[in-house]
Amino acid sequence: MMEAVQRRPGVSLPIAMGSTAAREAAYRFLSNRRVTLGRVLATHIEATAARAREAKRVLLVSDTTEFRFSTEREGLGMLSSTRRDGFLGHFTLAVSADGRRTPLGVLGVETLTRPERKAKRDHFARKKDPTRESLRWYRCADQANRQVEGVEAIHVMDREADIFELLAALTRDGRRFIIRSAQDRSVEEGRLVSTVAAASMQFSREVKLSARQTAKAPEGRRTHPARQGRIARLAISSTQVALRKATSACDPELPDSITVNVVRVWESEPPTGQDPVEWRLFTTEPIETQEQLEAIVDGYRARWVIEEYFKALKTGCNFESSQLESLHSLENLLGIYIPVAWQLLALRSLMRDEPEKPALTVLTKTQLAVLRLIKQGAALPPEPTIAQVAEAIAQLGAHIKSNGPPGWQVLGRGFEELRRAEFLYSQMISASSSGQS
């Protein structure tokens, strides 16, 4: 199944499987109750952990995404106030911490569904609920840490992870983190926002900000408004604060306060009509030198790799177009697609960041041989680079150079054509070696 999906990552499962018998076998496999997302993913997680150990220093980037489907399926939950059509996936992606931000693979996934209507409960009942969604952040972080024990690892999370309970647990366990602040918390020095703003700017630097389209969900439009791509000059300062436990916290085991470093990053003169960038980053990392502060800022910027990974899953693999009829089978199919999306993301990342590396870094010898046979236009050189084979794969996906770098759909189509040709090539070689005509 994995090989079939890799050959044709953007098409539906029935088409990818090829024959009626293979399709029915795939459906039986995915709906089998003894098959689970965790078991399907186990080998990929082991391989990711091995790549992390080889890298020695990694960022563990966590985030949640929604998977939406056009019709109701068994076990799906509410994703908005009007539709009951999907589930949430919370991922931890390992990324190299060497400045290249190379995606190394997924170390953990947890799926969640929401009931159609949430029962009204008071604040303390919600805080004590052992099934509350917010606990997924620590569970997945803890799982990722256990997978890469002995590796130098830093957790990177966005604003949704600004949870005192999570910050306290990571601090208690001695875990390193960079987490963006979302709220004006109470600190021993007064209020967080004013305390951090009082710190003097230490230096500024230019950062390339990517363009961002308008989010589909209303909450996404509020937290991640659309913007134009630009080079932004960002000012950077730092300080240390003691975050106070909220008076409404009902867990007596939580400490009254936790001490964290805070790095403030802001754009004092944004372009007209554009919202200024401002991040307040909670971190366990040292903040004594400019080099340390820049490493923290760059560590947080690596969070966008997981956004690209979600695009690889949804657009490159077209996961949300699946017609499977239950949450269980969709989860198992997600396990099949997760390594495929990582391979697409790794190819695209190396295209951008290390285009001169040998093509055999991302392709097998057989894939390279097949690409030489089916490539359109000029022949590949004897020892092609990643950039050269990526251009060839994009051509197979009908990429038009004047449109800029290839997108996920183009890359997915090109990779699909290469894998399909590789399959036919291997069948031909097999038939030839067995003496068939």
Q: Are residues 252 and 317 in the same domain?
A: no
Helix, strand, or coil (residue 59) = strand
Confidence band of 249 (pLDDT split at 50, 70, 90): low
Q: Are residues 310 and 278 in the same domain?
A: no
CATH code, 379: 1.10.740.10
Q: What pTM value is reported for the model?
A: 0.82
Q: Which domain holds residue 326?
A: 1-158+303-337
- Give the contacts of 130 (CB within 8 A, at least 6 positions apart): none
Establish if 98 belongs to a structural domain.
yes
The pLDDT, as a whole number, for residue 435 is: 64
Q: Which residue has the tokens 């031909």?
A: 428
Q: Are residues 134 and 214 in the same domain?
A: no
CA distance 125 to 118: 13
Q: Give per-residue pLDDT as tens, 81-140.
A: 556 689 999 999 999 999 889 999 999 999 999 876 555 555 445 556 666 888 999 999
**8 Å CB contact between 418 and 6:** no
More confidently predicted of 370 and 286: 286
Establish if 296 belongs to a structural domain.
no
Half-sphere exposure of 125 (CA within 13 A, CB side): 5
Res. 437: pLDDT tops 60: no
Q: What is the mean pLDDT of the chain?
A: 85
Q: Are residues 12 and 102 in the same domain?
A: yes
User: Across 214-289, where does the E strand assignment appear?
Assistant: 230-244, 257-266, 278-283
The one-letter amino acid code at 238 reads S
CA distances from 308 to 212, 324, 346, 432, 433 (A): 12, 25, 10, 41, 42
Element (H, E) at 351: helix 327-353
The pLDDT, as a whole number, for residue 227 is: 65
Establish if 297 belongs to a structural domain.
no
Establish if 106 belongs to a structural domain.
yes
Establish if 348 belongs to a structural domain.
no
Confidence band of 403 (pLDDT split at 50, 70, 90): confident
Q: Are residues 104 and 227 in the same domain?
A: no
DSSP string, 64-82: EEEEE-SS--BT-EESSSS
Confidence band of 190 (pLDDT split at 50, 70, 90): very high
Q: Are residues 132 and 196 in the same domain?
A: no
More confidently predicted of 119 and 274: 274
DSSP string, 124-173: HHHHH-TT-GGGHHHHHHHHHHHHTTTSEEEEEE-GGG--HHHHHHHHHT
Q: Are residues 374 and 328 in the same domain?
A: no
CA distance 434 to 436: 6
Res. 55: pLDDT tops 90: yes
Q: Are residues 266 and 326 in the same domain?
A: no
DSSP 385: B
How many domains would you assign to the chain?
Answer: 3
Q: Are residues 84 and 223 in the same domain?
A: no
The sign one gets for the Cα dihedral 46, 51, 57, 60 is: negative
Q: Are residues 10 and 118 in the same domain?
A: yes
Range 288-300 burial, b when 16+ CB lie within 10 A, else e: eeeeebebbbbbb
Confidence band of 242 (pLDDT split at 50, 70, 90): very high
* Nearest partner of 91 among 326, 332, 309, 325, judged by Cα: 309
Element (H, E) at 70: none
* Nearest partner of 224 among 352, 63, 87, 114, judged by Cα: 63
Q: Which residue has the tokens 């996920």?
A: 408
Establish if 347 belongs to a structural domain.
no
Q: Are strands 278-283 and 186-187 parallel, antiparallel or unpaired?
A: unpaired
Q: Are residues 282 and 328 in the same domain?
A: no
The pLDDT, as a whole number, for residue 11 is: 62
Establish if 69 belongs to a structural domain.
yes
Establish if 342 belongs to a structural domain.
no
Average pLDDT over residues 23-47: 88
CATH code, 280: 3.90.350.10
Q: Are residues 260 and 210 in the same domain?
A: yes
The pLDDT, as a whole number, for residue 390 is: 83
**8 Å CB contact between 280 and 181:** yes
The pLDDT, as a whole number, for residue 351 is: 78
Range 142-156 burial, b when 16+ CB lie within 10 A, else e: eebbebbeebebbbb
Res. 349: pLDDT tops 90: no
Percent of the chain exceeding pLDDT 70 equals: 85
Average pLDDT over residues 388-400: 83
Range 18-56 burial, b when 16+ CB lie within 10 A, else e: eeeeebeebbebbeeeebebeebbeebbeebbebbeebe
CA distance 221 to 52: 34
**8 Å CB contact between 260 and 270:** no
Helix, strand, or coil (residue 212) = strand
